[in-house]
Structure 1
Amino acid sequence: MSKRVVSVVIFGLAGMAILVSLGVWQLQRLAWKEGVLSDISARIEAEPVALPDVVDPEADRYLPVIVTGQFVGQTARVLVSLQGSGPGYRLISGFDVDGRLILVDRGYLAESAPQPDPPEGTLTVTGNLHWPDEVDGFTPAPDMARNIWYARDVVALADHLNTEPTFLIARDLSVPDAPLTPLPVTAQGIPNNHLGYAIQWFGLALVWLGMTAFLLWRITRRTV
């Protein structure tokens, strides 16, 4: 066996081993991510508790809470597109809980529908605390003239609506808030692409194996 054949075999096997190991690593990451998503789902669906006196955006993310109070102040509109329903807005309103003002994401309103005022009087809101990470370098600044926001920037919304930066995404209201459709927190929107990455690495390993075999075939044909 020539030195060239040996070097091709070693190089081919080494490359394939690396690609396969990356695929296996992605499968391990997949198992880890599925465990994380399972824990998040269990947290989201747990029994709601009272709003904590001090809210921690990390420790209290997805925490189910129940609050009683009144909607106050203005309402901000965050542009969204809902599959099956088209473009519309999430309506974000201030909510007074015993003198403590927080943000409540009331749900989805179709773009063509007139914007309703928040329900009046004392009511109860059940939902989950969340701090969506939707702002990046490409997010446009809010269009204040038309009251259109392009992301749920909790800090900026809280400053605009004069509330604390505590964000409650409603799952249920004790009174009707039609024509809004609640968009409660779920784990479905959290990315989990590890299986796709694993398939890509294993596919590349097969391609690498095929290329190595083809190169060896070419070499042996020339030496015959």
Structure 2
Amino acid sequence: MTRARRIGLILFAGLATVVFVGLGVWQVQRRAWKLDLVARVEARLAAPPAAAPGPGAWPDVTADGDAYRRLVLSGTFVPGHDTLVQAVTELGPGSWVLTPLTTDDGFTVLVNRGFVPPERRAPEDHVAPADHVTVTGLLRLTEPDGAFLRANDPAAGRWYSRDTAAIAAAQGLGPVAPFFVDQGHGAAGVYPVGGLTVVRFHNSHLVYALTWFAMALTTLVGTVLALRHGRRAGTRAATPAPAGAATHLG
């Protein structure tokens, strides 16, 4: 192996190792962040429900700080303004039923009242209570734009994500909270079916980190072996043949 090739190999291996180690460290940091998030969410789920944030607090509502907080809000549902959003749940495919609720404090929050199967999409199959209600559920952040490769189509009434601002605009509701509330369990056999929120966080960051660190180690070991092999091959090529070692044919 020539000197130039050795230098090129060392530079490439060094750069690759730095990149792999950096990615491994990033995954370790992501794992720490994810474990902290899981701990915070578990604490929120175990805490007693709090009042829903009002308009003054909306700019400060974030996924890290507020997602899956238990909330309680009282008010009346706005009739005739249900929005059906595509859903896939443990009960199969169907729709979430989002209904605006005007709280006793005068602001509006979309409430995900629960799941309905395709045969119960008709308005009469998921009529909201007309009297004053108290709703307990989980705070969920708005889901703007739509789902992966499927944009919301308000004009056609096709919704693939719970985009609170877009739903409010389509329904003519005016300002609404930048979050919605997943309502908890209701009476058995009654639609919509609440309490189907899945609180699960994918956490494979340790596996990813170990993979990147293993790739860094493999790069270093492979480079050392390649350099040794190149040095030995160069040494053999440079060593003259012993005197009298030529073979004569006669």
Question: Could you state the TM-score of these two structures normalised by the residue count of structure 2?
Answer: 0.70
Q: CA RMSD for the aligned pairs?
A: 3.4
Q: Would the alpha carbon gap of residues 140 and 11 (structure 1) be closer, same or farther in structure 2, given more than 3 Å must change? A: closer
List per-residue Cα deviations over 1:126-184 (Å, max 9, x = no partner): 01333233426944232544x33121111111223315322332342676682333256
Q: From 124, 136, 144, give the equivalent of 1:126.
A: 136
Structure 1 counterpart of 2:60, from 37, 58, 61: 58
Tell me the matched-pair count.
221
> Is the CA contact 1:79–1:89 (under 8 Å) kept in the aligned structure 2?
yes
The equivalent residue for 1:109 is 116
Contact residue 90 and residue 106 of structure 1 kept, 8 A: yes
Do residues 208 (structure 1) and 219 (structure 2) align?
yes
Q: Distance in 1 between matches of 2:120 and 2:186?
A: 22
Aligned partner letter, 1:142: D
Q: Is residue 85 of structure 2 the alignment partner of residue 78 of structure 1?
A: yes
Partners of 2:209 and 2:84 in 1: how far apart?
Answer: 40
Distance 1:32 1:196, change over 3 A: same
Identical-residue share of aligned pairs (%): 27
Residue pair 2:51, 2:71 contacting (<8 A) in 1 also: yes
Alpha-carbon shift at residue 49 of structure 1 (Å): 1.8
Structure 1: which amino acid aligns with 2:113? Answer: R
My pick for the range that moved more, 120-129 or 201-210, is 201-210
Task: Tell me which protein shows more helix as a share of its residues.
Answer: 2
Uncovered stretches (5+) of structure 2, i.e. residues with no partner: 237-250
User: What do the CA deviations read for 1:71-130 (whole angstroms, capped 9, x no partner)?
Assistant: 222210111222x43321111011132354321111222223344212342222101333
Gaps of 5+ in 1: none
With over 3 angstroms needed to count, the CA separation of the structure-2 counterparts of 1:50 and 1:209, relative to structure 1, is same
- TM-score normalised by the chain length of structure 1: 0.77
Distance, in Å, in 1 between the alignment partners of 2:130 and 2:189 is 10
Q: 1:112 to 1:199 in 2, by over 3 A?
A: farther
Do the aligned partners of residues 92 and 117 (structure 1) sit closer, same or farther apart at CA in structure 2, a change above 3 Å counting?
same
Distance 1:213 1:86, change over 3 A: farther
Could you tell me which of 177, 180, 189 is aligned with 1:168? 180
Bigger relative CO (Cα 8 Å, ≥ 6 apart):
1
